[in-house]
Structure 1
Amino acid sequence: MTRSSHGSGLLLAIGSASCYGFNIVFARMASFAGASGSAIVVYRVLLMLVLVAAVAAIARRSLAMAREERGKLLLLGLSSALQGICYLSSVAFIPVTVAAVVFYTYPIIIVLTSPFVEKAPLTPALIGVVAIATLGVGLVVGPAFSDLDWRGLTLAFGASIATAIQFFTAARCTRTGVVAKVFWIQLIILPTSILISLVTGQFAPPSILALAPFAMTMTIGGYIAGFVLQFLALGRISAVAAGIIFCTEPVVASLTSALILKEGLSPLQIAGGALVLAAIITNVLLEQRRMKNTALVPIAD
């Protein structure tokens, strides 16, 4: 991995996190109109499949998956389906900010389990960065913990676990091209989301898109952009680095919800956002220094 590709991976991760933060606010708006999280997932996956197939045909990209990565792609598809359905469904029961703070326990899960999954050292600097980012996220969304519903909390935490699995798996799935990867993951998500919709009684016809056309368009568009950028990023940086960068999402979600849903931001929340940004900048500098030190290590003859 080169320093330039690592740097582009960090920028792609920031872009993806911003799109996801934007997307969840409009998902809540759609839920107010009666659109369930699983229904949103079904129709955004259908649109994604059409778009990816069109891109593959126009750009003449192969949709073949690497044989040795079939199991990883299956796990990626299942974890992505559970992430989307759980997170989007959670905001029907709890505010966006509460869902965000529960969902954003996944960077902590990633960092704490990375020594076992990626054999990566758990350094004091990394623990400090995660602690600062977690404190910042808590300050951003903490004041919203006033109206809790166990269903929303359970769904948001389920999405967190699914995301940690997704990040670790995606970082190891590098032989399959991004276009093919996105296509197969969405193809796995589709039947999974339809099955969950049927079991929970939330399957809905396409007419549900008309309940909140603008909100549905924005949440689906934000997801598609965020998903593509995420997998471009995870081919360039580690799950741990991406997990910390993605703490940008709840900050963007809170700012967007303040502007669109008129949820006010207190000085404490603004301070929390500054802490998150500080943690991200610190992590970027640490990653760049690590890459520089790695490049300077002499290769034995």
Structure 2
Amino acid sequence: MIRSPSSADGLLFALASASLYGFNIVYARMASFAGASGSAIVVYRVLLMLVLVGIVAAVARRSLAMAREERGKLIVLGISSALQGIGYLSSVAFIPVTVAAVVFYTYPIIIVLASPFVERTPLTPALVGIVAVATLGVCLVVGPAFSDLDWRGLALAFGASIATAIQFFAAARCTRTGVVAKVFWIQLIILPTAILISLTVGQLAPPSILALAPFAVTMTIAGYIGGFVLQFLALGRVTAVAAGIIFCTEPVVAALSSAFILNETLAPMQIAGGALVLAAIMANVLLDQRRLKDMPKHRRQKREPVLREEMRETRN
């Protein structure tokens, strides 16, 4: 089957977005070495995002009003987004990028485990098998070097994974507010949350802290914004399922770039564990694709916009 140019462009945009996100976390670790904390980077990244969203809203004449009935859901979405960003960026100050990426990318598995309780979907043997493979993969990555890994980094990465799962569930219930307005309000909620966390852990610093590692900080923020914009472009051209498969390349890019840029290495067993996690995530996405095909047409048409919206919100 020959893809349309729009679909082909979407796949390229998704691949570029995943790559930028993968590079982003590597430079966040470099910034942490110089003393620029993950929470501080998130604060100033959000400020920049708010300015950019404001400009887009003004130029495109988009409303920033939120749906009244979704205010509570947007608050949950904003707080979980803040915890995801701060947790993931902060984790690499304590553990290698590859380990952080593998632990963080367990969030699709958390979604699978939580779905029977949140969405009332059945936990099938196939899903149980996927969860088992992913859990084994994480154990292989973390286990051989557990005594040498800082528990704080593991806790932050896993906390970010849980926050991302909450993002997905909240986003699926927040569909009446426009995308531009949603991004604006989410970023606005992230800002005080990030400031409060920074104050609590004593890491709130003036903008001058970004000058400690100007190149790494610039690459971290630019990588996030570039990945975010390309993700939106991709999701306008391909399905969320296709994008989900491509975004599985992000931890691979993070692992390869950390090896080349930071000279981080993994034991063969850890590499095998990362491959298992990646395989489990891809199997989960493909399984979801099969479920969509088996759905009655009217239910599939109703669910596709939700899947697309979930992927849009997962990086806000």
* Global fold match (TM > 0.5): yes
For residues 144-178 of structure 1, what are the alpha-carbon distances to aligned partners after superposition, in whole Å with 9 as ceiling and x for unaligned?
54522232233223222222211211122222222
Contact 2:103–2:138 at 8 Å: present in 1 too?
no
Distance change >3 Å, CA 67–CA 245, structure 1 → 2 = farther
- 2:154 corresponds to: 153
For residues 112-150 of structure 1, what are the alpha-carbon distances to aligned partners after superposition, in whole Å with 9 as ceiling and x for unaligned?
111111112212222333433444455566655452223
Distance in structure 2 (CA, Å) of the matches to 1:224 and 1:166: 18
Within 5 Å, give how 1:1-301 maps onto structure 2. 17-136=18-137, 139=140, 144-227=145-228, 229=231, 237=240, 247-272=248-273, 274-295=275-296
For residues 47-86 of structure 1, what are the alpha-carbon distances to aligned partners after superposition, in whole Å with 9 as ceiling and x for unaligned?
1111111111122222121222111111111111111122
Q: After the TM superposition, which of the residue ranges 284-293 and 255-264 deviates more from structure 2?
A: 284-293
Q: Percent identity?
A: 80
How many residue pairs get matched? 293
Instruction: Give the gaps of 5 or more residues in structure 2.
Output: 300-316
Distance in structure 2 (CA, Å) of the matches to 1:218 and 1:138: 31
Q: After the TM superposition, which of the residue ranges 133-142 and 158-167 deviates more from structure 2?
A: 133-142
Contact 1:25–1:96 at 8 Å: present in 2 too?
yes
Distance in structure 2 (CA, Å) of the matches to 1:171 and 1:16: 22
Q: After the TM superposition, which of the residue ranges 24-33 and 205-214 deviates more from structure 2?
A: 205-214
Distance in structure 1 (CA, Å) of the matches to 2:233 and 2:175: 10
TM-score (normalised: structure 2): 0.78
Q: CA deviation at 1:28?
A: 0.3
Q: After the TM superposition, which of the residue ranges 47-56 and 119-128 deviates more from structure 2?
A: 119-128
Q: CA deviation at 1:39?
A: 0.6
**Aligned letter for 2:103?**
V
Q: CA deviation at 1:18?
A: 4.0
Distance in structure 1 (CA, Å) of the matches to 2:81 and 2:142: 24
Instruction: Give the gaps of 5 or more residues in structure 1.
Output: none
Q: CA deviation at 1:15?
A: 5.9
Q: CA deviation at 1:267?
A: 4.5
TM-score (normalised: structure 1): 0.81
**Matched position secondary structure for 2:88:** helix
**Aligned letter for 1:220?**
I
Contact 1:39–1:203 at 8 Å: present in 2 too?
yes
**Aligned letter for 1:65?**
M
Q: CA deviation at 1:44?
A: 0.5
Q: CA deviation at 1:257?
A: 0.4
* Coordinate RMSD, CA, aligned: 3.6
Q: After the TM superposition, which of the residue ranges 66-75 and 91-100 deviates more from structure 2?
A: 91-100
**Aligned letter for 1:79?**
S
For residues 208-249 of structure 1, what are the alpha-carbon distances to aligned partners after superposition, in whole Å with 9 as ceiling and x for unaligned?
222111211111122224445379859x759xx95x876543
Q: After the TM superposition, which of the residue ranges 50-59 and 15-24 deviates more from structure 2?
A: 15-24
Distance in structure 1 (CA, Å) of the matches to 2:283 and 2:110: 20
Distance in structure 1 (CA, Å) of the matches to 2:228 and 2:166: 15
Distance in structure 1 (CA, Å) of the matches to 2:265 and 2:119: 40
**Aligned letter for 2:177?**
T
Distance in structure 2 (CA, Å) of the matches to 1:14 and 1:174: 26
Distance change >3 Å, CA 37–CA 284, structure 1 → 2 = closer
**Aligned letter for 1:80?**
S
